[in-house]
A = this chain, B = another copy of it.
């Protein structure tokens, strides 16, 4: 079993070709993971709620590969993809979703609360805007500690209407914090198209209110994510402050649980499916001669097997005990 850190590092080796293939493979894993999560949820084997990342894999991987494991990310309830991309194993994520003690948060958190300090995944927040000031604060710590690390706040398009967005952006700008605000603009906030709640199209222009650099990138293309992010990260590491990045993606699934997304205009999903991030990567890698149909099939089969094994294991894992519910209320030690 590899650790989260090893899984993370396996995406960034000395060989960039290997890395590209590893990223593709991880994207397949996320896709398969979400497919099975959805199935398990429908079958009643998972309770509560789930928010799938289908369509956002390129963005997930792009972030995981441009950030270092000692950088941090404050993400949201829609974070299976972030967790897996950043290094958490399908087993630890699935066990968490199933509420098992082997889950990344001991089964205490559930689908909305991923966490792994070894790869900088701060506990994801289920409150819109909850993670933004936290990311700014982590960046403040880096700045004071004179570290070169950066923090990322990762959130959805509709989250740009919450007060915490505005306040965090302004604070980060005035303090020149090494934080990057990443909008995952997947077009919807729950069941509402972004244009019904927000009177502008390009959300990243909101950075102008804080004299903050900003950019839009194609979230369906891992290379676009990587290069777009790199500039922002370099700026932050240089000490030149925050950036707002808007990654254009599309939420291929419903918002959560059983949502069928019937509110989508006809043809919209199909249009975006042509830009499916996995397809886009597949084509790019094939073009470069790094992939062929056989290899793709093999890798897809591997993803199926990996996720299946994770599920099998998670299912047989133990539940947390009553004592576990009381373990981490107060701490006598500083940790993290």
Q: In this assembly, does A225 line the interface, its C-beta being within 8 Å of a C-beta of chain B?
A: no
Q: Which residue of B lies closest to A197 (CB)?
A: B174
Main secondary structure of the interface of A (DSSP, over half): helix
B161, A167: Cβ atoms under 8 Å? yes
Cβ of A166 to closest chain B Cβ, rounded Å: 3
Interface residues of A in 164-217 (CB under 8 A from B): 164-167, 170, 173-174, 196-200, 205-206, 208-212
Which residue of chain B lies nearest to A170 when distances are taken between CB atoms in the complex?
A: B161
Does residue A325 face the partner (Cβ distance < 8 Å to B)? no
Which residues in B have their C-beta under 8 angstroms from that of A170? 161, 197-199
Answer whether residue A163 sits at the interface, using C-beta atoms and an 8 A cutoff: yes
Cβ-defined partner of A209 (8 Å) among B162, B174, B200: B200
- Identify the closest chain B residue to A129 (Cβ): B163
Chain B residues near A166: list those with CB within 8 A: 161, 163, 165-167
> Which of A170, A206, A208, A211 neighbours the largest number of chain B CB atoms within 10 Å of its CB?
A170
Q: Separation in Å of the A315 CB from the closest CB of chain B?
A: 43
Determine how close the nearest CB of chain B comes to the CB of A209; give it in whole angstroms: 4
Q: Given the complex, which residues of B lie within 8 Å of A199, measured CB to CB? A: 170, 173-174, 210-212
Taken together as a complex, chains A and B put the C-alpha atoms of A167 and B206 apart, in Å, by: 13
Which chain B residues border A205 with CB–CB below 8 Å? 208-209
Q: Could you tell me the distance between the alpha carbons of A328 and B17 in the complex, rounded to whole angstroms?
A: 73
Cα distance, A246 to B212, chains bound together (Å):
21
Chain B min CB distance to A156 (Å): 15
- 11 residue pairs bridging A and B, Cβ less than 8 Å apart: A161-B166, A161-B167, A161-B170, A163-B166, A174-B196, A199-B210, A199-B211, A200-B209, A200-B211, A205-B209, A208-B208
